[in-house]
């Protein structure tokens, strides 16, 4: 299955950009909420370093995951669906070919 | 002024250990308080990354600062006094020679 050499129409680029931004907002909003709640529970120095380790990992993860290159978007969307930050409905309007590839990769 | 090759009596070692632990507790308690208060103000993703940067810097700073080697203690205590985590009174019982060196370095 060739997924990196795919053309995106202008309409599809708009849909992709919106879905990408939506997933990023959902995931980062959840992170903000999680940190706000978790920080209230901090009692000891170990809790501080656990928070630091957690933020280091999340930052690294987010930096790598949200890769807006057209050659990568099929993988990015598949992963975001797998993780629950997008649903197939958020990608409505993409070609059936792209949607099939994304769904297929999301199940791997 | 030679400060790295200094003998510490057993009584001085006890005083040094207590002062060291006291400063560490004061500073880390202040950090815990600061993070608890600051985290309540988190609204945006940028705030999260600022917190992460802040914790990275504090962790690095604390790791380097609290160096309990007898050859380093004069410098360590001078720095802790300079930063306000210790007062000369916390070191009462050390030799006048050591206290003079610490005071002198703390003013640099």
Tell me how many helices (H) and strands (E) chain A has: 4, 0
A50 lies within 8 A of chain B by CB: no
Residue B29, pLDDT above cutoff 90: yes
User: So what's the pLDDT on residue A103?
Assistant: 95
- The pTM assigned to this predicted structure is 0.85
Residue B4, pLDDT above cutoff 70: no
Query: pLDDT (tens digit, 9 = 90+) per residue, A3-40?
Result: 665 789 999 999 999 999 999 999 999 999 999 888 88
Within 8 A by CB and 6+ apart from B7, the residues are none
Residue A1, pLDDT above cutoff 60: no
- Alpha helices in A40-95, H assignment, sequence order: 45-65, 73-83
* Longest Cα–Cα distance in chain B: 53
Q: What is the DSSP letter of B5?
A: S
Residue B101, pLDDT above cutoff 80: yes
Put simply, the answer to whether A51 touches B55 (Cβ < 8 Å) is: yes
User: So what's the pLDDT on residue B40?
Assistant: 80
Mutate to test the interface with B, among A27, A30, A34, A39 (most CBs of B within 10 A): A39
Averaged pLDDT of chain A: 93
Nearest-CA distance from A29 to chain B in Å?
A: 8
Put simply, the answer to whether A39 touches B39 (Cβ < 8 Å) is: yes
**Dihedrals φ, ψ of B44, to 5°?**
-125, 165
User: So what's the pLDDT on residue B2?
Assistant: 61
Query: pLDDT (tens digit, 9 = 90+) per residue, B35-46?
Result: 988 888 899 999
A52 lies within 8 A of chain B by CB: yes
Q: Which own/partner contact pairs does A59-63 have at CB distance under 8 Å and 24+ positions apart?
A: A59/B49, A59/B52, A62/A27, A62/A28, A62/A31
């Amino acid at each position: 299955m060739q997924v990196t050499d795919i053309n995106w129409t202008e309409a599809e680029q708009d849909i992709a950009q919106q879905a990408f931004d939506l997933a990023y907002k959902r995931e980062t909003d959840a992170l903000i909420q999680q940190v706000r709640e978790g920080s209230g529970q901090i009692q000891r120095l170990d809790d501080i370093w656990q928070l630091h380790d957690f933020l280091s990992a999340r930052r690294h993860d987010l930096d790598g995951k949200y890769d807006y290159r057209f050659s990568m978007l099929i993988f990015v969307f598949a992963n975001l669906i797998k993780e629950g930050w997008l649903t197939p409905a958020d990608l409505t309007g993409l070609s059936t070919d792209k949607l099939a590839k994304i769904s297929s990769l999301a199940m791997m």
